[in-house]
């Protein structure tokens, strides 16, 4: 068959082409590589399949496509309507690989790379739409985007492109996952021409697509959004008329602004998308600013029950609650919103306070007060990554009419302190040290900054610097004995003196400062674990939940779950697993449990012999966390359980886990154990 196609193609192209060899079939035709003698260049020849005959047969269309010139387009040398009813497009051969192959090799792409290539795609689509008449590509998908050796994109395959005329136009075809709804709105005549096995499905799609109108320039926007979705997740989006998995379901690093761009581009109704590719490009070109503006409106307000200030203490945050808001002549609406937020924060209505602060930030994006409050609330809710996103790259300029120089310096100190505290929570101790040093530089009289700086330096392994910060703290006016005890305990823990760390931590559990109590319970429990005093660790964490109440609901509970599971493994006692499971269920019932809680719940169920429930939870976990290797790791281990013994599925889950694990950049002994089990299956 390939020899016949090559022979036919050679006869159509004529003597100017030689070395014609078939490549992989395209979505709507066969593809060949050839050498164009006259120009001495390598070219690709695309032969459109029979179902698309006549679509590009007009000379005017061919001339428009041949005259396209753009850095992200191949040169189109010729479009030949052949006597056999097929259309042959001759274009530059682009070395490299297509986007689908690239993602298959490297996995889901980081946001920075996605933004770069999405901008380039927008630029070339803007160019196509600016033609007279507009050229609508209609088949934007990974296979039609080449990645050049220079690291840029090149958009190929114009055999399904349409020219925007005054009248209605109709899609030539639709690639599932990348086609917009309107591409399924086809005429009865087109439906009747489809093969019987496809007609029934297309009749259903066409009926569902009726409200979305016909193909326009907005159709390419959907394709661009779908391509971005694929780059970000590594998965093809679902069929537009049958449901697309929301981006928020994937465990990926994704700014809210880029998420908004993708979701808007992929809106089902064309009128809900951007006004044009140019408008979409404008947002992408100013993404950092847009990211902040979008977050101000869309700071997610699903409150997670995380201990207030559980690891790093933020007792100085009480100061901003009494902030003297200045400039009453200016921004009265802004000041009213900030005052409303203060009242909501005092009432612990954090969800509503974030919504109000979002409005304030949009109203006056250059003022600092709302940012301080929003970042503090996010920190208190344990949403550290969101807090970092909100504060990163902010650059406020001092305005003497808005606040005094002293207030401005204090605000800068607080913002850096919150950033440092968030990085501490995320266990990025080097970054934590950097921002806490900035906080101390802006306000060198605040003991809390030096206290937490010393702790972060100890965690980062900079014990000499930690000692210097501790000595500075000792000599500061206003440094509390409890602050010194905290640093002493952290320094001892960092040096492996767990018994030495235990004494100051247990003393701090009697503090009147709830944040200090929360922190001291956690570190004391870690000391007991290091000292192999498991029963005392469990008793202490149970005490913490009683003493602290709501502030202990998440972190302390998660630590207690781990302790009970370890105790169950050591003692073989079902009651320990039952207690761990009950605590997991307590967190799961709130709907905000992290992956670790789900994994531990599945482990407890498995040890209790409740394998059907464990399997149901494992499947749900994979669905909720499809990009985390640990989901598939747990599923694979469960399938290897003799009570399940589904070895084929275990292998499949292992392969998925291994693929994700290779790009995770972590070391996990469980993965090595799973690999040995899979290999032993033969």
- What is the mean pLDDT of the segment spanning 303-324? 33
- pLDDT, position 320: 38
Q: Which of 414, 460, 475, 462 is nearest to 439 (CA)?
A: 414
Pairing outcome for strands 76-81 and 87-92: antiparallel
Residue 620 token pair: 């749900």
Does 318 score more than 50 pLDDT? no
- What is the mean pLDDT of the segment spanning 94-104? 89
Pairing outcome for strands 29-36 and 17-22: antiparallel
- What is the mean pLDDT of the segment spanning 644-672? 85
Does 89 score more than 90 pLDDT? no
Question: What percent of the chain is modeled with pLDDT above 90?
Answer: 33
| Secondary structure (DSSP) of 308-354 | TTSSS--GGGHHHHT-----TTS-HHHHHHHHHHHHHHHTT-HHHHH
> For residue 162, what pLDDT band results from cuts at 50, 70 and 90?
low
Query: Could you give the CA distance from residue 635 to residue 657 in angstroms, rounded to a whole number?
Result: 9
Full-model pTM: 0.49
> For residue 163, what pLDDT band results from cuts at 50, 70 and 90?
low
Least confident interval from 42-56, 139-153, 596-610: 42-56
Answer for the pair 218, 263: CB distance below 8 angstroms, yes or no: no
Residue 171 gets which letter from DSSP? -
What region does 43 belong to: left with phi over 0, alpha with psi -120 to 50, or beta? beta
Does 639 score more than 90 pLDDT? yes
- What is the mean pLDDT of the segment spanning 489-509? 93
| Secondary structure (DSSP) of 555-605 | HHHHHHHHHHHHHHHHH--HHHHHHHHHHHHHHHTTT---HHHHHHHHHHH
Q: Which of 439, 124, 256 is nearest to 264 (CA)?
A: 256
Q: Which of 39, 36, 40 is nearest to 80 (CA)?
A: 36
Place of tokens 């902030």: 323
Least confident interval from 10-14, 221-225, 482-486: 10-14
Give me the half-sphere count of Cα atoms (radius 13 Å) on the Cβ side of residue 555: 25
What region does 508 belong to: left with phi over 0, alpha with psi -120 to 50, or beta? alpha
Residue 648 token pair: 């084929």
Answer for the pair 494, 530: CB distance below 8 angstroms, yes or no: no
Average pLDDT, the chain: 80
- pLDDT, position 56: 43
Place of tokens 């809106």: 267
Question: What percent of the chain is modeled with pLDDT above 70?
Answer: 82
In this structure, the number of other CB atoms found within 10 A of the CB of residue 101 comes to 14
Residue 286 gets which letter from DSSP? T
- pLDDT, position 584: 92
Query: Could you give the CA distance from residue 642 to residue 644 in angstroms, rounded to a whole number?
Result: 5
> For residue 379, what pLDDT band results from cuts at 50, 70 and 90?
confident
pLDDT digits (tens, 9 = 90+) for 514-531: 888 888 999 999 999 999
Query: Could you give the CA distance from residue 621 to residue 125 in angstroms, rounded to a whole number?
Result: 39
Does 572 score more than 50 pLDDT? yes
- Angle of helix 405-425 versus helix 369-380 axis, rounded to 10: 20
Does 429 score more than 80 pLDDT? yes
Map out the domains of the chain with their CATH numbers: 2-92 (3.30.200.20), 97-297 (1.10.510.10), 612-682 (1.25.40)
Does 666 score more than 90 pLDDT? no
Task: Tell the burial category of 232 from Cβ atoms under 10 Å away from its Cβ (0-12, 13-18, 19+).
Answer: buried
Query: Could you give the CA distance from residue 373 to residue 393 in angstroms, rounded to a whole number?
Result: 17
- pLDDT, position 30: 75
- pLDDT, position 525: 94
Answer for the pair 380, 308: CB distance below 8 angstroms, yes or no: yes
- Number of residues that make up the chain: 682
Q: Which of 29, 33, 32, 138 is nearest to 85 (CA)?
A: 29
> For residue 463, what pLDDT band results from cuts at 50, 70 and 90?
very high
Residue of 266 and 384 predicted with greater confidence: 266
Does 322 score more than 60 pLDDT? no
In this structure, the number of other CB atoms found within 10 A of the CB of residue 132 comes to 8
Query: Could you give the CA distance from residue 548 to residue 525 in angstroms, rounded to a whole number?
Result: 15
pLDDT digits (tens, 9 = 90+) for 194-218: 777 778 888 888 888 888 988 889 9
pLDDT digits (tens, 9 = 90+) for 261-312: 999 999 999 998 988 898 888 888 776 544 543 343 333 322 222 222 333 3
- pLDDT, position 611: 93
Does 418 score more than 50 pLDDT? yes
Sheet with 97-98: strands ordered across:
97-98, 145-147, 153-155
> For residue 149, what pLDDT band results from cuts at 50, 70 and 90?
confident
- pLDDT, position 314: 37
Does 228 score more than 90 pLDDT? yes
What region does 234 belong to: left with phi over 0, alpha with psi -120 to 50, or beta? left
Query: Could you give the CA distance from residue 525 to residue 25 in angstroms, rounded to a whole number?
Result: 62
């Amino acid at each position: 068959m390939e020899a016949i196609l090559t022979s036919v193609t050679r006869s159509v192209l004529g003597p100017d082409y030689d070395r014609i060899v078939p490549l992989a079939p395209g979505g709507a035709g066969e593809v060949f590589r050839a050498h164009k003698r006259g120009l001495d260049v390598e070219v690709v020849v695309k032969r459109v399949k029979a179902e698309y005959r006549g679509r590009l047969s007009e000379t005017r269309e061919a001339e428009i496509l041949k005259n396209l010139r753009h850095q992200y387009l191949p040169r189109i040398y010729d479009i030949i309507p052949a006597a056999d009813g097929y259309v042959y497009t001759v274009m530059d051969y682009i070395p490299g690989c297509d986007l689908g192959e690239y993602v298959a090799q490297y996995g889901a792409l980081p946001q920075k790379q996605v933004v770069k290539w999405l901008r380039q795609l927008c630029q070339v689509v803007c160019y196509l739409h600016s033609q007279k008449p507009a050229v609508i590509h209609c088949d934007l998908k990974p296979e039609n985007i080449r990645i050049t050796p220079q690291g840029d994109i090149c958009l190929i395959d114009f055999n399904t492109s349409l020219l925007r005329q005054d009248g209605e136009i109709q899609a030539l075809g639709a690639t599932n996952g990348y086609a917009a709804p309107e591409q399924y709105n086809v005429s009865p005549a087109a439906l009747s021409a489809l093969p019987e096995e496809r007609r029934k499905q297309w009749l259903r799609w066409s009926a569902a697509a009726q409200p979305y109108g016909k193909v326009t320039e907005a159709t390419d926007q959907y394709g661009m959004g779908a391509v971005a979705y694929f780059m970000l997740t590594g998965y093809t989006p679902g069929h537009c008329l049958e449901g697309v998995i929301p981006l928020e379901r994937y465990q990926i690093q994704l700014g809210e602004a880029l998420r908004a761009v993708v979701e808007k581009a992929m809106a089902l109704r064309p009128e809900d998308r951007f006004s044009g590719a140019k408008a979409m490009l404008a947002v992408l070109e100013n993404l950092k600013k847009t990211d902040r503006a979008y977050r101000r409106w869309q700071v997610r307000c699903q409150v997670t029950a995380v201990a207030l200030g559980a690891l790093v203490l933020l007792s100085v945050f009480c100061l901003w609650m009494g902030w003297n808001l200045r400039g009453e002549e200016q921004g009265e609406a802004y000041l009213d919103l900030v005052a409303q937020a203060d009242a909501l924060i005092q009432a612990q209505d954090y969800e509503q306070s974030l919504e109000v602060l979002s409005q304030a930030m949009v109203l006056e994006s250059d003022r600092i007060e709302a940012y301080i409050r929003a970042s503090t609330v996010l920190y208190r809710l344990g949403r550290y990554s969101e807090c970092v996103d909100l504060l990163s790259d902010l650059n406020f300029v001092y305005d003497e009419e808005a606040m005094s120089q002293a207030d401005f310096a204090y605000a800068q100190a607080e913002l850096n302190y919150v950033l440092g505290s968030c990085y501490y929570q995320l266990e990025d101790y080097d970054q934590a040290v950097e921002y806490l040093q900035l906080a101390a530089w802006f306000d060198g009289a605040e003991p809390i900054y030096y206290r937490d700086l010393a702790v972060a330096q100890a965690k980062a392994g900079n014990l000499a610097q930690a000692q210097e910060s501790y000595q500075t703290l000792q000599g500061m006016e206003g440094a509390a004995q409890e602050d010194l005890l905290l640093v002493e305990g952290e320094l001892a823990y960092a040096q492996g003196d767990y018994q030495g760390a235990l004494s100051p931590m247990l003393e701090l559990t009697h503090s009147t400062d709830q944040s200090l109590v929360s922190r001291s319970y956690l570190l004391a429990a870690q000391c007991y674990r290091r000292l192999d005093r498991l029963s005392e660790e469990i008793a202490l964490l149970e005490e913490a939940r009683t003493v602290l109440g709501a502030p202990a609901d998440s972190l302390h509970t998660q630590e207690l779950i781990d302790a009970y599971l370890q105790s169950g493994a050591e003692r073989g006692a079902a009651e320990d697993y039952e207690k761990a499971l009950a605590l997991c269920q307590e967190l799961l019932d709130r709907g905000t449990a992290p992956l670790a809680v789900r994994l531990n719940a599945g482990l407890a169920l498995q040890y209790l012999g409740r394998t059907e429930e464990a399997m149901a939870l494992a499947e749900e976990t994979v669905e909720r966390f499809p990009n985390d290797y640990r989901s598939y790791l747990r599923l694979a281990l469960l399938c290897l359980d003799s009570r399940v013994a589904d070895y084929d599925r275990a292998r499949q889950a292992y392969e998925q886990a291994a693929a994700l694990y290779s790009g995770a950049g972590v070391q996990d002994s469980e993965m090595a154990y799973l690999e040995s089990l899979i290999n032993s299956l033969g």
